[in-house]
Chain A
């Protein structure tokens, strides 16, 4: 079990962090995700289903948190500084993109996170989002356009 956590905690944390924008909350929610997953581990049909399954749990945990918190906090520069321990252009870029992501709808955010997170196949993304693969492709395209629109005016920070 500890090994499973070590392997997948980055994935779960990344999903939740993209959804909540809060490091400490994301860490707590990552923990909750694994607890929920292990309490219901019998539901996983096979090892290959574990990754999309835990992504779905992470998504639901983050959604529940949003429902309780009602508003998603914007990333504060201090928070990111605390997270990384230092401050440079790459972190500025991260904050700008994270902030733009926070302004998107939950589905767009989830879609982009899952798609661009290395190692997740289109099939897995479709499983988590409960969509067909072709639908996922269309939604990714729209989400990318919306994200780009949010980033208008920040071009200098990005390149």
Chain B
């Protein structure tokens, strides 16, 4: 224990935080009157508490916050329009791919591709055993997958901008 120290000095914080029982509190108060070390510790604790309770003041920030908020909202609105525009463009692209490009591709080049690969690998009759799938259904399915994926991607990007 330090010189000019007191064994009760640790009770100051407990006292200030009301952690002592009623009896202990009264005993400590009585002790405080006769002990200069504890009184000084009490003064220090009160100074700390007083300082911690001080409200620090910023400058005038109200206008700046409101301007930022307005800008964010405008930006958000712009992003919403951008999102709608992108979904329309992507939807049209998907429709063109689905109903024009894919049927065309499935009818000509893909058919040739299957025929060539069949000859090259010598797996004759392999395609005959597979169930018949209407190429238009495949094309429509592919188009919808493309549309959904692009919409999710656009939505994610738009939300990040906001």
Contacts and interface: CB of A to CB of B under 8 A. Distances in A.
B19 interface: yes
B49 interface: yes
A5 B69 contact: no
A127 B110 CA distance: 64
B48 A2 contact: no
A155 B13 contact: no
A9 B61 contact: yes
Given A145-B13, A148-B45, A151-B48, A17 B56 contact: yes
Nearest to B40: A159
A27 B68 contact: no
Nearest to B43: A159
Interface in A1-60: 1-2, 5-6, 9-11, 13-14, 17-18, 26-27, 30-31, 34-35, 38-39
Contacts of A118: 53, 55
A137 B56 CA distance: 24
Interface residues of A, number: 39
Interface of B: 13-14, 16-17, 19, 40, 43-45, 47-49, 51-59, 61-62, 64-66, 68-69, 72
B68 A158 contact: no
A14 B56 contact: yes
Given A118-B53, A141-B14, A97 B65 contact: no
Given A2-B66, A31-B65, A155-B40, A117 B17 contact: no
Contacts of A158: 43-44, 47-48
Given A27-B61, A144-B13, A158-B43, 16 more contacts: A5-B65, A11-B55, A13-B56, A31-B61, A31-B65, A34-B65, A35-B69, A94-B51, A97-B51, A117-B52, A117-B55, A118-B53, A141-B13, A145-B13, A158-B48, A159-B43
